[in-house]
Every structure is written in C-alpha cells, then in structure tokens.
Amino acid sequence: MDPAFTIDDRTGDVHIEGCAFLIGARTTRDDVVRELADRLEPDAKTNAASITWHRLRSLTFGGESASLSMCFGPRGLQSISFGVSLPNPALEDGWPTKQETQREIAFVCRTLRAMWKRSFNGAATFAWGSVWASYDVFSHSSSIGLRYGPAR
C-alpha cells in the first residue's frame, strides 16, 4: 500500500508515512527534490513568474489514493493542493459529477476532523496559514489545500 500523508494542524507540516522529512512553510524546492526524488513526478511545471509546481504521486490520505502538488514561489513553499480518488466515482462523460466532487470534499473534511480531533467544515485559519476544502464553481471541481503565510 502507498504511504499515507497527514497534516499537523499545529504547524502545517505534511508528513509522509515512512519518511523523516516534513513538508512545511520553510521547505525549499531543493529540499523536496533532494528528499523526495523517488516520489516526484518527473516533470515539474514552472511559469513565467517563476512559480513551480512539484507533484507527489502514489500516496494515500485517509486510506484512499491521493496525490499532492506543492507550489513554490521565489521565497519558498507557498501552498499545497491535494486530491483524493474515492472508489466507484460517479462520472459524466469521463468527469466527476458535482455530487462526486462534493463526496470527495466531505471525505476530506471528515478525515481532517478525525486527524485533528477538532471541528473542520471546509475552512480553517491557523497561525501558520490556512486550510480549505470546497467546491470550485468555475472549474466544477474540488479545491483542497493548505496556504502558508500569516493568518489573515
């Protein structure tokens, strides 16, 4: 089975089971490439503003298949987005339905509540940043992730 990742609500650190390395606000691109090379997708994406995305594959979250994308800016890790693939998804023309996307969001919220032993209903702000899990009406998909930076 693929290793699970967890999120520490006190620090914002992401821990991958069996790995001593923590992904967090102070993580650099070089750290990720050095420490997680065996799990990184081979083609990092960089745009004209020097924003780079690195994607980790073959993970689980809450016992379900998951992937995680890290967004690095000029000053380091800015955010992490992730998605979960639930079994038996409802599809329409090969794409998840709105109900399927909402099922994924509900699963992530339940998993984070259990992981953190506290309330989480789709958005939370912490001293280290924020976490969200919501339906994006523009892309008709889930938007789930962490943003590092001072609480707003």
pLDDT tens digits, one per residue of 96-147: 999 999 999 999 999 999 999 999 999 999 999 999 999 999 888 999 999 9
One-letter identity of residue 139 = S
Both tokens of 89, joined, read 């998804």
| C-alpha–C-alpha distance, residues 14 and 144, integer Å | 14
Summary mean pLDDT of the chain: 92
Greater confidence (48 vs 109) lies with 109
Both tokens of 21, joined, read 């390395």
Q: What is the pLDDT of residue 152?
A: 46
Q: What are phi and psi of 133, to 5 degrees?
A: -150, 105
Find residue 54's DSSP bridge partners. 70
Would you give the DSSP letter of residue 41? -
Q: What is the pLDDT of residue 48?
A: 66
Greater confidence (135 vs 46) lies with 135
Residue 89 has pLDDT above 50, yes or no: yes
Report whether 23 contacts 32 (CB < 8 A).
Answer: yes
Q: What proportions of the chain, in percent to the nearest 5, are helix, strand and coil?
A: 20, 45, 40
How many domains does the structure of the chain reveal? 1
- What is the pTM for the complete model shown? 0.91
| Residue 35: domain span | 5-148
Q: What is the pLDDT of residue 151?
A: 54
| C-alpha–C-alpha distance, residues 135 and 68, integer Å | 18
